[in-house]
Amino acid sequence: MPQNKKIIDGRAVASEIRLKLKDKIAQLSGRRPGLAFILIGNDEASKAYVRMKKKGCEEVGITSHVLHLSEKISERELLAEIDHLNSSENIDGILVQQPLPKQIHTDKIVEAIDPKKDVDGFHPLNIGKLLLGHTDGLVPCTPLGIIKLLRAYKIQTDGKEVVIVGRSNIVGKPLAALLCQKQPWANSTVTLAHSHTENLAEVTKRADILITALGSPGSITAGMVKDGAVVIDVGINRTMNTLIGDVAFAEVIEKASLITPVPGGVGPMTIAMLLSNTLKAFS
Question: Active-site positions?
Answer: 53, 97, 120
Q: CB 55 → ligand NAP: shortest distance, Å?
A: 15
Q: CB 65 → ligand NAP: shortest distance, Å?
A: 22
Q: CB 84 → ligand NAP: shortest distance, Å?
A: 27
Task: Name residue 189's beta-bridge partners.
Answer: 161
Determine contact, residues 151/179, Cβ cutoff 8 Å. no
3-state secondary structure of 237: strand
Q: By CB under 6 A, name the one of 86, 156, 237, 257 that touches ligand NAP.
A: 237
Within 10 A of 54 (CB to CB), how many other CB atoms are there?
Answer: 17
How far is Cα 280 from Cα 119, in angstroms, rounded to an integer?
9
Q: By CB under 6 A, name the one of 167, 175, 188, 207 that touches ligand NAP.
A: 167
Q: By CB under 6 A, name the one of 38, 85, 170, 274 that touches ligand NAP.
A: 170
Q: By CB under 6 A, name the one of 93, 115, 137, 166 that touches ligand NAP.
A: 166
CA distances from 86 to 13, 81, 139, 219 (A): 32, 9, 19, 41
Determine contact, residues 39/45, Cβ cutoff 8 Å. no
Nearer to ligand NAP, 176 or 266 (CB): 266
Determine contact, residues 140/123, Cβ cutoff 8 Å. no
Q: By CB under 6 A, name the one of 185, 215, 221, 243 that touches ligand NAP.
A: 215
216 binds ligand NAP (CB under 6 A): yes
Q: By CB under 6 A, name the one of 55, 72, 84, 194 that touches ligand NAP.
A: 194
- Look at strands 209-212 and 93-96 and give their pairing: unpaired
Q: By CB under 6 A, name the one of 190, 266, 275, 281 that touches ligand NAP.
A: 266
Q: Give the list of residues 6+ apart from residue 52 with CB closer than 8 angstroms, or none.
A: 271
How far is Cα 277 from Cα 283, in angstroms, rounded to an integer?
10
Contact window for ligand NAP (CB under 6 A) among 70-78, 114-122, 123-131, 161-169: 161-169
Nearer to ligand NAP, 5 or 196 (CB): 196
Tell me the one-letter amino acid at 87: S
Contact window for ligand NAP (CB under 6 A) among 49-57, 103-111, 124-132, 265-273: 265-273
277 binds ligand NAP (CB under 6 A): no
Q: CB 76 → ligand NAP: shortest distance, Å?
A: 27
Q: Classify each residue of 240-258 as buried b or exposed e, where b means 16 or more C-beta atoms within 10 Å of its C-beta.
A: eeeebbbbbbeebbebbbb
Nearer to ligand NAP, 63 or 219 (CB): 219
Give Cα 35 to chain centroid, integer Å. 17
Residues at the interface with ligand NAP (CB under 6 A): 142, 165-168, 170-172, 193-197, 200, 213-216, 219, 234-237, 266-267, 270
